[in-house]
Amino acid sequence: MGASKLSGMQKQVLSLYRGFLRAARSRPIEDRKRIEMIVSTEFRHNSKEVDRKNFQYIEYLLRLGTKQLDQLKSPAIVSLSSIKVVTSKT
Amino acid sequence: MATQFSASVSLQTSCLATTRISFQKPALISNHGKTNLSFNLRRSIPSRRLSVSCAAKQETIEKVSAIVKKQLSLTPDKKVVAETKFADLGADSLDTVEIVMGLEEEFNIQMAEEKAQKIATVEQAAELIEELINEKK
């Protein structure tokens, strides 16, 4: 009994989510709240809509998310347009 | 295998039997906050350890409970005790990540991702937190 064992792909998703939350933490409070809201909405939307067996698409989303996270971490990036783009696409 | 205790008995058991409380630790511990690879962790033998003090432990559990309630937007009267499973409060795996991040910030610690992913109850979270705090001393 207890929490089921997470699959490797699940761990990657949670790791990415964690990375976004950590990156948001270093931002000013208003930016941080917006980032957290956008990221949370996006992950929860995908967790509902994406077929868990569609590994190819999930891998694509993981790569896309990792790229966006790298952008978010860059001090040169001050806007959130790249994240918004994905949000509007879904 | 979880046994249900009433709140008061739970507290006594927690104080009296801390040497018996343990959870399995992964064989490999990542030193980074994030891992890009996934792999199967070999289950290691549970280790036994003493907690610093019952008072500190109870305080930690109460703090953890407060953060869990806040994170999951639960009403203040919602009962959250050491044995409460996050899943029983309606938390999914994304919620659990948020809870762990909130705990890290509150206690000013960083949890290794593999350990964090295994946390399922308030008590497990409190134990790991105290372990990490002690390591910093």
Three-state secondary-structure class, residue B85: strand
Selecting from B97, B105, B120 the residue whose C-beta is nearest the C-beta of A14 gives: B97
Domain count, chain A: 1
Please indicate, yes or no, if residue B16 is contained in any of the structural domains. Answer: no
Structural domain containing residue A69: 8-73
Gap between the Cα atoms of B32 and B26, Å rounded: 15
Query: Is A66 within the bounds of a domain?
Result: yes
CA A14 vs CA B85, B93, B111: distances in Å? 19, 8, 14
pLDDT in tens, B73-117: 988 888 788 989 899 999 999 999 999 999 998 898 988 987 887
Whether B112 maps to a domain, the answer reads yes
Residue A44 has pLDDT above 80, yes or no: yes
Express as a percent the part of chain A with pLDDT over 70: 76
Judged against a pLDDT cut of 90, whether residue A56 lies above it is answered with no
Residue B71 inside a domain? The answer is yes
Q: How many domains would you assign to chain B?
A: 1
CB contact under 8 A, A12 and B85: no
Contact B113 A18 (CB under 8 A): yes
* Residue B70 distance to chain A (closest CA, Å): 15
CATH number reported for the structural domain that contains residue B119 in this entry: 1.10.1200.10
Q: For residue B31, name the pLDDT band (cuts at 50, 70, 90).
A: very low
The helix/strand count (H/E) of chain B reads as: 5, 0
pLDDT at A88: 35
- Report whether B137 contacts B33 (CB < 8 A): no
Residue B12 lies in a domain: no
Structural domain boundaries, residue B101: 56-134
Rounded to an integer, what distance in angstroms lies between the CA atom of residue B132 and that of residue B110?
Answer: 8
Residue B89 lies in a domain: yes
pLDDT at B126 over 70: yes
Q: Is residue B53 predicted with pLDDT exceeding 60?
A: no
Q: CB neighbours (10 Å) of residue B122?
A: 25
Those residues whose C-beta lies under 8 Å from the C-beta of residue A32, and which sit 6 or more positions away, are: A24, A25
How far is the alpha carbon of B11 from chain A, nearest alpha carbon, in Å? 21
Task: Say if the Cβ atoms of A3 and B101 lie within 8 Å.
Answer: no
The answer on pLDDT for A67 being more than 70 is yes
CB atoms inside a 10 Å sphere around CB B101: 21
